[in-house]
Structure 1
Amino acid sequence: MSFDRAGLEQALSERREVARVVVAETSGSVPREVGAAMLVWPDGQAGTIGGGALEHDAAARARAGERGLRRVPLGPGLGQCCGGAVTLLTEYWTAADLGGIEGDLVVRPARTEGGAMPLAVRRLVADMRSGAAPPGPALVEGWMVEPVTQATRPLWIWGAGHVGRALVEVLAPLPDLAITWVDTAPERFPDTIPAPVTRLVAAEPTVAAAHAPVTAEHLILTYSHALDLALCDALLTRGFARAGLIGSDTKRARFRSRLRDLGHADAQISRIRCPIGQKTLGKHPQAIAVGVAAEILSAPMGTAEIRDTA
């Protein structure tokens, strides 16, 4: 987990102050890991630290103005079955606070009394400035240390219809994905788009495809079979890490034949997975999105290519 600056920026764009509750330490069986966080404001919240009684209690305390560190034994304290304990840090952020963050590491005192930065924390900061990989989120001698979210997997979603919207809704919260969402006109997109997602209006999507990184993953689900085919052709020419195409077994067979006629080899055509998702989950847009999300989470970059199911 890491510090989601984009999500906090979005929340602060609509309100003056937002409480942030982050899991600072854990012991035993707990619902979420260190670094899991949620944002809380008077009439809403975003993110999760595990749900249930822990989250309900933490949100209520944040709205009441509690701040600083608090250790919560989940069994005796909240009657939860996990049996472990979590230490929560509750703090309040404004746009000015967020603007003061520099670099890829967010470091601040977790205790209200503050104090000088400990030597261990100074060493972590110095190591990062020297090129070391960012540390994981941790509470270090009373200071909270969190790397800033850095999306490492470019994912292009082609189409803003029902399935495209369901995919963005499910995939946008995943911290590793840098999502570019493409369609042919602005009115095809919803009014509100999650902060980490980049909207790209492209009257000619195949031209945009030529500018996608060759390391990108693609999900093709436009309103037009002709456009789907043109995008498959463009991406096979451009190169990609993985690609998936919405459709049926019949669509896959027809596209295979047409892409072969366009000069693409079977081995390359087979790199485009069709259908996407998991058939056993059904064809509802959210069901497709859940199946695709499972595939993405279970196939990190660097693993074998996704082949079609023929």
Structure 2
Amino acid sequence: MLAFRRLLDAIEAEGSAALVTLARVRGSSPREAGARMVVRPSGGFHGTIGGGALEWVALEAARAALTAGRAAALRRSLALGPELAQCCGGRVDWRIEIFDARDVEDLRALASAERDGVGSLTARLGADGRVERRPDRERPGGRLTESLPEAETWTEPLGESARAVYLFGAGHVGRALALALAPLPFVVRWIDSRREAFPARAPGNVALIHALEPAAELAVAPDGALIVVMTHSHALDLDIVAAALSADRFGYVGLIGSATKRARFLRQMRDAGLTEAMLAKLVCPIGVPGIAGKDPAVIAASTAAHLLMAAEGGEPGRSA
């Protein structure tokens, strides 16, 4: 979830919003430290800190804080078993912060960093008891460091450690995949040489990139980025895939197409000098093996699952 983007949307629509963060976790808990939930005055919410009684009580506390208005951050510690009758057995601390129009400028900076894939924030409690945050572009993403009540500063993950996806192609499947990735922990750069191919609007975690030379966008992609290629041109597909495999630094290089297309591309890239080790990393066809549907939404769902596997360090199935 892009929490700071959600806060901005809520303030624009309803004037204020609450951010609930699991500040500390000891023992077993349904979510990890750093999990966030955005709560609106109307009662709507985005994200989760684990569901069940914990989330219900947190929602009630957030609504009460919204009624009281913008003030110092509130912190509470709960034992999940004795106090909430949850079987997890651990203890969690949550922090509730209220934001309104006075915070929009700061939230825009955080939302911009969130969308850019910046991994971490450096945070501290200000003199007024409110949390002050700044993007830490030098530190990779990760888990929340111990955010103790007496801590002067701590590190927070930004965007729940969202992984960078470079999606090439704004055709029917590209559109479906951009939508499928919207609620997932990815930051997407959606690239096409045809400006008119993009929709008028895109999900909050998707940046629309009009590039006359799409393959050149790989030069600024971070190491470990997940590359998905599905353009309108087989020649362009080949250029992008060959550049991605040659770079030998990405976590996934997927190409839409059949086994026949894969064989043809491998032959051409082999002739161009790519090594067998590079070629072995090509994922084509894309998607979870066994899902044979050709509808764009089906391909998108299957590919999104493939990308989740790759982001978690799993080995997506590859066609020989």
Fold shared, TM-score > 0.5 on shorter chain:
yes
The alignment's TM-score, normalised by the length of structure 2, stands at 0.70
RMSD: 4.3
Query: Partners of 1:190 and 1:55 in 2: how far apart?
Result: 36
Distance 1:174 1:223, change over 3 A: same
Q: Secondary structure at the match of 1:39?
A: strand
Q: Secondary structure at the match of 1:139?
A: coil
Match of 1:200 among 182, 197, 209: 209
**Aligned twin of 1:147:** 156
How far apart are residue 68 of structure 1 and its match? 1.5
Q: Secondary structure at the match of 1:259?
A: helix
Distance 1:145 1:163, change over 3 A: farther
Q: Would you say 1:253 and 2:263 are equivalent positions?
A: yes
How far apart are residue 158 of structure 1 and its match? 1.0
2:163–2:311 CA contact under 8 A, matched in 1: no
**Aligned twin of 1:29:** 28
Distance 1:70 1:239, change over 3 A: closer
**Aligned twin of 1:183:** 192
Deviations 1:238-257 (A, max 9, x none): 66524211223222112222
> How many residues of Structure 1 are paired with residues of Structure 2 in the alignment?
290
How far apart are residue 289 of structure 1 and its match? 0.9
Query: Partners of 1:214 and 1:94 in 2: how far apart?
Result: 34
**Aligned twin of 2:302:** 287
Q: Would you say 1:138 and 2:146 are equivalent positions?
A: yes
Distance 1:154 1:183, change over 3 A: same
Deviations 1:33-84 (A, max 9, x none): 1111111112532222112333233224322336712333434544433233
Query: Partners of 2:163 and 2:96 in 1: how far apart?
Result: 30
How far apart are residue 108 of structure 1 and its match? 2.0
2:192–2:209 CA contact under 8 A, matched in 1: yes
Q: Secondary structure at the match of 1:247?
A: coil
Q: Would you say 1:70 and 2:76 are equivalent positions?
A: yes
**Aligned twin of 2:113:** none
Deviations 1:106-163 (A, max 9, x none): 21269xx949x9xxxxxxx9xx9xx9x9993433235684436287964311123454
1:36–1:49 CA contact under 8 A, matched in 2: yes
For structure 1, the 5+ residue unaligned runs are 118-124, 300-304
1:163–1:289 CA contact under 8 A, matched in 2: no
Q: Would you say 1:96 and 2:95 are equivalent positions?
A: no
Query: Partners of 2:218 and 2:93 in 1: how far apart?
Result: 48
Q: Secondary structure at the match of 2:46?
A: strand
**Aligned twin of 1:231:** 240
Query: Partners of 1:26 and 1:268 in 2: how far apart?
Result: 42
Match of 2:92 among 80, 86, 89: 86
Match of 1:221 among 230, 236, 252: 230
Query: Partners of 2:222 and 2:155 in 1: how far apart?
Result: 30
How far apart are residue 29 of structure 1 and its match? 1.9
Q: Given residue 59 of structure 2, which amino acid in structure 1 is its aligned partner?
A: A
Q: Given residue 18 of structure 1, which amino acid in structure 2 is its aligned partner?
A: A
Distance 1:245 1:11, change over 3 A: farther
Distance 1:91 1:213, change over 3 A: closer
2:15–2:100 CA contact under 8 A, matched in 1: yes
| 4+ residue segments displaced more than 6 Å | none
**Aligned twin of 2:58:** 58
Q: Secondary structure at the match of 2:308?
A: helix
Distance 1:181 1:48, change over 3 A: same
1:170–1:293 CA contact under 8 A, matched in 2: no
Query: Partners of 2:273 and 2:313 in 1: how far apart?
Result: 32
Match of 2:166 among 153, 156, 171: 156
